[in-house]
Amino acid sequence: MNRARRLFVLLPAVLASGCGFKLRGAPDWPSELDPIYISGLGVRDSLYLMLVQNLRAAGAEVLGARSPEAAELRVLSLRDDRRVLSVTGAARVSEYELVRVLDTELRLPGEAEPLPLGRLEASRIYVFDAASVLTRSEREEELAQAMNRDLVRMLALRVQAAMRGRHGGADD
């Protein structure tokens, strides 16, 4: 009985790993981004800190100043927006949509033209509850962190695709 239970628990894991499934982690950043400098964000900005953490976890050295030998991730714009989605019968806001839009480009050492990475957008919808323990600003900060995680993940995937396209579609 105990052996059958172990088999029942292990079988899905073995089947999932056999088909190439793996848990979603931080996407890999291309090795050409080591070292890298990030411009356009303040060093205390939560998105900057998350980018640095993610790049370092991937093994990249993040520089504090520009260097001709380093790649440069340029944040051209970062915009936050909050839209009202619905209003109660008492004319009070009941739902908001938070949107964070990031526009970036990547300059590689020795390259004349930067690689445009385009516009990335992350959004969250939340129901406003006046009786909630969390204040509106705390809730919005929590959602901003979740949107930052999404933007960093999307940016890593966008950089991977741009680098593959630059190498003529060959895998790294």
Tell me: the pLDDT tens digits for 55-76?
A: 999 889 999 999 999 999 999 9
Q: Which domain holds residue 108?
A: 24-166
* Cis amide leading into 35 (omega within 30): yes
Residue 95 forms part of a structural domain:
yes
Task: Give me the residues paired with residue 115 across strands.
Answer: 106
Q: Are 100 and 132 in contact (CB under 8 A)?
A: no
pLDDT above 90: percentage of residues in the chain: 52
Residue 11 forms part of a structural domain:
no
Q: What is the pLDDT of residue 13?
A: 64
Residue 153 forms part of a structural domain:
yes
Residue 44 forms part of a structural domain:
yes
Structure pTM? 0.76
Q: What is the pLDDT of residue 11?
A: 60
Tell me: the pLDDT tens digits for 128-153?
A: 777 776 677 788 889 999 999 999 99
Residue 171 forms part of a structural domain:
no
The number of folded domains in the chain is 1
| Residue carrying the six token digits 């006046």 | 130
Q: What is the pLDDT of residue 104?
A: 97
Q: What is the pLDDT of residue 12?
A: 67
Residue 6 forms part of a structural domain:
no
Torsion of CA 104, 110, 113, 116, to 10 degrees: -30
pLDDT above 70: percentage of residues in the chain: 80
pLDDT at 6 over 70: no
Q: Are 122 and 99 in contact (CB under 8 A)?
A: yes
Q: What is the pLDDT of residue 172?
A: 45
> Which DSSP letter does residue 31 get?
G
Tell me: the pLDDT tens digits for 73-113?
A: 999 999 999 888 888 888 887 888 999 999 999 999 988 89
Q: What gap in Å lies between CA 49 and CA 65, rounded to an integer?
A: 15
Residue 14 forms part of a structural domain:
no
Domain CATH code at residue 152:
3.30.160.150
Q: What is the DSSP string of 38-60?
A: EESS-TT-HHHHHHHHHHHHTTP
Identify the band that residue 127 occupies on the pLDDT scale cut at 50, 70 and 90: confident
